[in-house]
A and B are shown apart, each in its own frame.
Chain A
Amino acid sequence: MSQAFRVPGRGRVDSARTVTFTFDGRRFQGQAGDTLASALLANGHHLMGRSFKYHRARGVVSAGSDEPNALVAVGSGPALQTPNLRATQVEVYEGLTAVSQNRFPCLQFDLGAVNTLAAPLLPAGFYYKTFMWPRSFWDRVYEPVIRRAAGLGVAPTAPDPDHYAFQYAHCDVLVAGAGPAGLAAALAAGRSGAQVILADETAEVGGSLLSDRTSRIDGRPAALWVADILAELAALPNVRVLTRCTAFNYGPHNMVALNQRLTEHLADPAPDMPRERLWQVRAKEVVLAAGALERPLVFEGNDRPGVMLASAAQTYLNRYGVACGKRAVIVTADDSAYRVALDLHAAGVTVAAIADLRPAPDSALMRAAQGAGLTVLPGTTIQRAHGSTRVHSVELARLLPDGSVGKGQHWRADLVLMSGGYTPSVHLFSQSRGKLAFDERLGVYIPGESAERERSAGACRGVYALADVLADGAAAGVAAAGAAGFAADAPSWAVDAADAPGRGGYAGALPRRGKGLLAMAFVDFQNDVTAKDVKLAVREGFRSIEHIKRYTTTGMATDQGKMSNVNALGIAADALGRPVEKVGLTTFRPPFTPVTFGAFASHARGDLFDPDRRTPIDPWARAQGAVFEDVSLWRRARYFPRGSEDMEAAVRRECLAVRGGVGIFDASTLGKIEVVGPDAATFMNRMYVNAWTKLGVGKCRYGLMCRENGFVYDDGVVGRIAQDRFHVTTTTGGAPGVLAMMEDYLQTEWPDLDVWLTSTTEEWAVIALQGPSARAVLAPLVDGLDISAEALPHMSLVEGTIGGVPMRLFRVSFTGELGFEINVPARQGRAVWEAIWDAGQAAGITPYGTETMHVLRAEKGYIIVGQETDGTATPDDAGCGWAVSKVKADFVGKRSLVLPAMQAPDRRQLVGLLTEAPWEVLEEGAQLVARPDEAIPMHVLGHVTSSYFSATLGRSIALAMVSGGRARVGETLHVPMEGRTIAVTVTKPVFYDVEGARLNV
């Protein structure tokens, strides 16, 4: 029984190319050009999924991106399976593998369907009402159960092996949707010479025209007219047509995001092809031609497989050559369903009856249906559809003049088509912040006042007659091109033989006979929201449509209420006793259809996620086997293990090597800013807490910077290269912020100062040579420069050369030892490093990393901004009050530092801590309290900011910020830890060489 429902001679699929695919492990055949849904329907297979909450059997309802039920997972394997794709959009190819979702053990028999029996216990707001108590049950019972039951598809577990592309684009006119209106608009704008992008979410442009066997445009069948227009567009170099490309987000200032699917429809895509491409299009003007979506009807059993939209059955028949059943019953409130009936009848499908909800429908189409011998039942509703995994019959009943429903009559049918009229697709318009307006005539919301530079055309603004749609599209194209600066003429076409569109439609739940306490009439198929749920929400006091939406979850599924919103609104309006236009519509949120995470991530994965900043010495350190750590975007060598050393062993060895001989350290990541100009010293005086006027050329000073609120922001050594030139260093992570803050003050507060700021961070490689032997190693290399203690004392600098390479040599130390920081142009950094390395071999030169640097500076009590300080520490808190100029009239932060709170004696101040046991290393971040036996919550006095084992001292050391800490030196405090408390003695924060004798040698 292969493709028994295929109608020969109908449809646009390639009847010569049969493809084989599997669905739930079963092999099926389809034709090239089929979607998964049309191919399954061609095999008479309607059951495609299970519903979210009640696990009810569900078939396909629509033929497009509005499909709420037929969600499938495509592909196989832990990385390649993509969940929650709409079968109506998945194109079949040879070897496609798809599986249904949300069922156990299988689609035909799903244990979860017992939820339907429990439906009376699962009303709207069930979760809020039920899982309130006991509280202790939430973590252990409710949440795990709910989590297991929740969700539809299963996310892949392995990294996505595909790659995704990203592109920015600019255009004069972007047209979203390539149905009749979009094609007309694109052609009108394209002919004017404007740069046009036309995007459509389907595989083929043409929209409704591809399903239209009746209309003639300029005497040509609609589908042939589409081919003509597409050929002309393709020949225009200024027009780009993108298919399988969904405009899913309308952002501010006319930036529209498109998601283009490039390989998903291919059996064997080229391996270097991206799977999807995300477009960010900045359009001067936008034409929205999104079309309209048919509304389902809300009645008991409207979700049974075999119940679908009338327009969908028409599309499957005329576009894909598939009859969705053998015997159809049509229920409609709109004339368009009569055309569907005639098309089905002509294709050999029995149309048993057409029930029209309107009491006295009268149109040429209806008469044509009657003329073809079809049974038309005016004033008739559908009470119920019967069946479980497939509909087998319906009960139709008269609508009585008093509004009640009469006795029902059974009709056999394997296909039930519903037509509740059309809802304009206003999603993108709504995302653009345009105001929706209620159209009384059509009973739906249409675009009102625009917020962006866009206009809607065709069915998405309630224009349905084909001749009007084409004219509307052409006019919109002309208007858009004109607004973008291109004179355009509106093309015109003669439309004949088109149907006169109906003005019918229905919003809300159909009337029914009896209370229907157990009846399930679905409003939102994807979230399993019934008419009763919406009514219950109103009964329980919800008045705002936004609250009703959240309480019932109607319209909150991945389809964003494409099918459900207007019906939910109708039911709510009815229950509230207010007209629909007074209740209002909920906000449409992006994306229009779901977009893969891969498309959003695009190239920003793995190594391309962030810029990877590496120093010129980096390759050398890697060759030495260094272990690295991330410091902001920099990769820094953390330690250099020898043999089987772990970090602790390596750091002890590196520390002792520096203190006892000489160590070499890559400090290139230090932020560097060149401050130059006649007013450079004035500027420095205002930016830093220190005084700079008297700093001599060739001298260095530790600089401390506050924000205007008086808290420490950054620090670093500053050297005066010339009267008008400072070499400023900052912390590794703080460099961009410091430069931005300097620029801020310079540009906005003191534009009168003649100063130039240049980031030189990456211009200089910085090699720190530290330890008592440092001078002996360096002296022979610096081309005769005198670097003796007399010529180059601590905190001074000199310019010279090292092996012929220009150098700024700083005599500074972040270790407490005799030290030099050798600044050379970055491109020579590696060579200079290796020259020093070679020269230092006799002295046992040892490379050390950031971890050793941290230990050495902590032994000396040197702070690290961001470790000892946290944005609430003043210079004095951090033990750097000595750096603050007392004589300067002003600097950034000065006024704040004299606020009373900034001088309170109980502020947290930097201190040292020593544990009783020398081997005990405190945990950084641990809290400090006064008494070990204090009741919880304890009064916290401060916290540990840095803590290490010091090989030099043979014991642990720690720095801490403690309330009134400097007055507590000698006191014992306590560190409460899990299960025990550690006693510590408060000390001064300098543990080693307190008088600084080792620096001044």
Chain B
Amino acid sequence: MLLIRCPYCGERSEIEFANGGEAHIARPADPMSQTDEEWAQYLYMRDNPKGLIAERWRHAHGCNRFFNALRDTRTDRFVMTYEMGRPRPEIDAATLAEAAR
């Protein structure tokens, strides 16, 4: 069971959380101005990286806050979690390698 650091509550077990899919996908400000293709891209197209993913988590059985996390999909190692609204942090190569290990 993963150990996940909620930015508001600290480290808690995975069963307290709900995964919310890929992070940093902003809803278009004016959806009606989107072409069908652009809208489909927003709605359905998601990355499935082998490696680092930025994803949303909700502390469903805790503070109920959404936050973002950087996790390596190969190892389930969390590089960091951070508050909603912050841009995706840059991660140095050494940290990436550690996450992949």
Residues of A within 8 A of B (CB): 251-255, 280, 282, 433, 449, 451, 708-709, 740, 743-744, 747-749, 751, 889-890, 894-896, 898-900
Complex Cα gap A896–B28 (Å): 13
Which of A253, A280, A895 touches B2 (beta carbons < 8 Å)? Answer: A253
Q: Is the CB of B85 within 8 A of A751?
A: yes
Instruction: State whether the Cβ of B17 lies closer than 8 Å to any Cβ in chain A.
Output: no
A449-B101, A890-B31 are known; give 16 further A-B pairs, CB within 8 A. Answer: A253-B76, A254-B3, A255-B1, A255-B13, A280-B1, A282-B3, A433-B75, A740-B18, A740-B58, A748-B66, A751-B85, A895-B31, A895-B32, A896-B43, A898-B32, A899-B39
Complex Cα gap A709–B65 (Å): 24
The 5 A-B residue pairs with the shortest CB-CB distance in the complex, in nearest-first order: A895-B31, A253-B3, A747-B66, A749-B27, A255-B1
Q: Is the CB of A896 within 8 A of B39?
A: yes
List B1-53 residues whose CB lies under 8 Å from chain A: 1-3, 13, 18, 20, 26-27, 30-32, 34, 36, 39, 43
B64 contacts which chain A residues (CB < 8 A)? 743
B26 contacts which chain A residues (CB < 8 A)? 749
Kindly provide the distance from the CB of B101 to the nearest chain A CB, expressed in whole angstroms.
7
Can you report 27 A-B residue pairs in the complex whose CB atoms are below 8 A from each other?
Answer: A251-B1, A252-B2, A252-B3, A253-B3, A253-B76, A254-B3, A255-B1, A255-B3, A255-B13, A433-B75, A449-B101, A451-B75, A708-B43, A744-B58, A744-B66, A747-B65, A747-B66, A747-B84, A748-B56, A749-B26, A895-B31, A895-B32, A895-B34, A896-B39, A898-B32, A899-B39, A900-B36
Q: Is the CB of B58 within 8 A of A743?
A: yes
B91 contacts which chain A residues (CB < 8 A)? none
B58 contacts which chain A residues (CB < 8 A)? 740, 743-744
Q: Is the CB of A252 within 8 A of B1?
A: yes
Closest B residue to A899 by beta carbon equals B36
A280 contacts which chain B residues (CB < 8 A)? 1
A433 contacts which chain B residues (CB < 8 A)? 75
Kindly provide the distance from the CB of A453 to the nearest chain B CB, expressed in whole angstroms.
11
Kindly provide the distance from the CB of A876 to the nearest chain B CB, expressed in whole angstroms.
18
Most chain-B CB neighbours within 10 Å: which of A255, A747, A889?
A: A747
Q: Is the CB of A740 within 8 A of B32?
A: no
B76 contacts which chain A residues (CB < 8 A)? 252-253
Kindly provide the distance from the CB of A281 to the nearest chain B CB, expressed in whole angstroms.
11
B75 contacts which chain A residues (CB < 8 A)? 433, 451
Complex Cα gap A890–B31 (Å): 7
Contact indicator per residue, chain B 63-101, by CB within 8 Å of chain A (1) or not (0): 011100000000110000000110000000000000001
Kindly provide the distance from the CB of B92 to the nearest chain A CB, expressed in whole angstroms.
21
Kindly provide the distance from the CB of A934 to the nearest chain B CB, expressed in whole angstroms.
35
Closest A residue to B40 by beta carbon equals A899
Most chain-B CB neighbours within 10 Å: which of A254, A894, A895?
A: A895
Complex Cα gap A898–B26 (Å): 20
A254 contacts which chain B residues (CB < 8 A)? 3
Kindly provide the distance from the CB of B14 to the nearest chain A CB, expressed in whole angstroms.
8
Q: Is the CB of B60 within 8 A of A740?
A: yes
B20 contacts which chain A residues (CB < 8 A)? 744
Complex Cα gap A703–B82 (Å): 35
Complex Cα gap A900–B101 (Å): 47
Q: Is the CB of B84 within 8 A of A889?
A: no
Kindly provide the distance from the CB of B83 to the nearest chain A CB, expressed in whole angstroms.
10
Complex Cα gap A708–B42 (Å): 10
Which of B13, B18, B31, B101 touches A894 (beta carbons < 8 Å)? Answer: B31
Closest A residue to B30 by beta carbon equals A890
Closest B residue to A746 by beta carbon equals B66
Q: Is the CB of A709 within 8 A of B84?
A: no
Q: Is the CB of B84 within 8 A of A253?
A: no
Kindly provide the distance from the CB of B28 to the nearest chain A CB, expressed in whole angstroms.
8
Kindly provide the distance from the CB of A745 to the nearest chain B CB, expressed in whole angstroms.
8
Closest B residue to A759 by beta carbon equals B64
Kindly provide the distance from the CB of A441 to the nearest chain B CB, expressed in whole angstroms.
26
Complex Cα gap A889–B29 (Å): 11
Complex Cα gap A94–B98 (Å): 55
Kindly provide the distance from the CB of B78 to the nearest chain A CB, expressed in whole angstroms.
9
Kindly provide the distance from the CB of B21 to the nearest chain A CB, expressed in whole angstroms.
10
Kindly provide the distance from the CB of B16 to the nearest chain A CB, expressed in whole angstroms.
12
A895 contacts which chain B residues (CB < 8 A)? 31-32, 34, 39
Kindly provide the distance from the CB of B80 to the nearest chain A CB, expressed in whole angstroms.
15
Most chain-A CB neighbours within 10 Å: which of B3, B18, B31, B65?
A: B31
Closest A residue to B76 by beta carbon equals A252
Complex Cα gap A280–B31 (Å): 47
Complex Cα gap A743–B20 (Å): 12
B60 contacts which chain A residues (CB < 8 A)? 740
Kindly provide the distance from the CB of A633 to the nearest chain B CB, expressed in whole angstroms.
15
A894 contacts which chain B residues (CB < 8 A)? 31-32
Decide: A748 near B84, CB < 8 A? Known: A252-B76, A740-B18. yes
Kindly provide the distance from the CB of B56 to the nearest chain A CB, expressed in whole angstroms.
7
A890 contacts which chain B residues (CB < 8 A)? 30-32
Complex Cα gap A306–B34 (Å): 79
Most chain-A CB neighbours within 10 Å: which of B3, B26, B27?
A: B27
Complex Cα gap A282–B4 (Å): 12
A744 contacts which chain B residues (CB < 8 A)? 20, 58, 66
B31 contacts which chain A residues (CB < 8 A)? 890, 894-895
A743 contacts which chain B residues (CB < 8 A)? 58, 64, 66
Closest B residue to A251 by beta carbon equals B1
Closest B residue to A707 by beta carbon equals B43
Kindly provide the distance from the CB of B27 to the nearest chain A CB, expressed in whole angstroms.
5
B30 contacts which chain A residues (CB < 8 A)? 889-890
Which of A282, A751, A896 touches B84 (beta carbons < 8 Å)? Answer: A751
Kindly provide the distance from the CB of B53 to the nearest chain A CB, expressed in whole angstroms.
16
Closest A residue to B21 by beta carbon equals A744
A282 contacts which chain B residues (CB < 8 A)? 3, 13
Kindly provide the distance from the CB of B45 to the nearest chain A CB, expressed in whole angstroms.
13
Complex Cα gap A393–B92 (Å): 67
Q: Is the CB of A451 within 8 A of B101?
A: yes
Complex Cα gap A743–B60 (Å): 10
Kindly provide the distance from the CB of A248 to the nearest chain B CB, expressed in whole angstroms.
15
B1 contacts which chain A residues (CB < 8 A)? 251-253, 255, 280
Closest A residue to B60 by beta carbon equals A740
Complex Cα gap A749–B84 (Å): 10
Complex Cα gap A383–B56 (Å): 63
Complex Cα gap A743–B65 (Å): 8
Kindly provide the distance from the CB of A615 to the nearest chain B CB, expressed in whole angstroms.
23
A749 contacts which chain B residues (CB < 8 A)? 26-27
A751 contacts which chain B residues (CB < 8 A)? 84-85
A255 contacts which chain B residues (CB < 8 A)? 1, 3, 13
Kindly provide the distance from the CB of B26 to the nearest chain A CB, expressed in whole angstroms.
7
Complex Cα gap A148–B66 (Å): 52
Complex Cα gap A324–B33 (Å): 85
Kindly provide the distance from the CB of B60 to the nearest chain A CB, expressed in whole angstroms.
7
Closest A residue to B1 by beta carbon equals A255
B34 contacts which chain A residues (CB < 8 A)? 895
Closest B residue to A890 by beta carbon equals B31
Closest B residue to A255 by beta carbon equals B1
Closest B residue to A257 by beta carbon equals B1
Complex Cα gap A467–B42 (Å): 64
Complex Cα gap A254–B3 (Å): 9
Complex Cα gap A749–B29 (Å): 10
Complex Cα gap A37–B36 (Å): 72
Q: Is the CB of A709 within 8 A of B32?
A: no
Q: Is the CB of B3 within 8 A of A709?
A: no
Complex Cα gap A896–B60 (Å): 28
Kindly provide the distance from the CB of A949 to the nearest chain B CB, expressed in whole angstroms.
42
Which of A449, A708, A748, A889 touches B32 (beta carbons < 8 Å)? Answer: A889
A251 contacts which chain B residues (CB < 8 A)? 1
Kindly provide the distance from the CB of B72 to the nearest chain A CB, expressed in whole angstroms.
11
A889 contacts which chain B residues (CB < 8 A)? 30, 32
Complex Cα gap A740–B84 (Å): 16
Complex Cα gap A282–B15 (Å): 14
Closest A residue to B34 by beta carbon equals A895
Complex Cα gap A262–B45 (Å): 52
Complex Cα gap A740–B36 (Å): 27
